[in-house]
């Protein structure tokens, strides 16, 4: 549901403000809990950059990737998925790559994308479960009672 995207599961969060994600160059302490909006932006950002690398384009900077909003985020991510799936058969998995690490291969990049996708989707799922639990039990919102 659109209102789930910006639900804040804790007192310290990373979210989206006017399409722009919260960000810090060094990890804050305490580490903010991301909202679904922030995780979906993060997923779209790294997937866009992975596609840029695979196509030999200059990767877009984090600030160039804006969250499209709750009504368009699913279409945005599906579009990235379609672009990625179309690109996969053209890749030489044994070719050298510097993304996401120096001295890796395109195969490492593909595996990394898969791992990141699984991680981010499970984070979104967990946030949805917490949101549903919090709507029926206020003590489940992650905040001190």
Residue 91: strand, helix, or coil: coil
Q: How many CB atoms neighbour CB 41 within 10 A? A: 28
Cα separation of 109 and 102, whole Å? 11
pTM, full prediction: 0.89
CB atoms within 10 A of CB 98: 10
Q: What is the CA radius of gyration of the chain?
A: 17
Per-residue pLDDT in tens (0 to 9) along the chain, 145 residues: 778 999 999 999 999 999 899 999 999 999 999 999 999 999 999 999 999 999 999 999 999 999 999 999 999 999 999 999 999 999 999 999 999 999 999 999 999 999 999 999 999 999 999 999 988 876 655 554 4
């Amino acid at each position: 549901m659109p209102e789930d995207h910006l639900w804040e599961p804790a007192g310290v969060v990373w979210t989206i403000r006017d399409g722009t994600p919260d960000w810090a160059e060094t990890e804050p302490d305490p580490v903010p809990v991301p909202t679904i909006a922030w995780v979906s932006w993060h997923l779209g950002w790294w997937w866009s950059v992975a596609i840029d690398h695979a196509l030999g384009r200059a990767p877009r900077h984090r600030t160039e990737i804006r969250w499209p909003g709750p009504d368009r985020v699913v279409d945005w991510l599906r579009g990235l998925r379609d672009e990625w799936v179309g690109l996969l058969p053209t890749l030489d998995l044994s070719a050298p790559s510097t993304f996401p690490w120096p001295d890796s291969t395109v195969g490492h990049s593909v595996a990394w994308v898969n791992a990141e996708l699984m991680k981010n989707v499970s984070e979104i799922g967990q946030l949805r479960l917490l949101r549903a639990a919090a709507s029926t039990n206020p003590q489940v919102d992650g905040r001190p009672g």
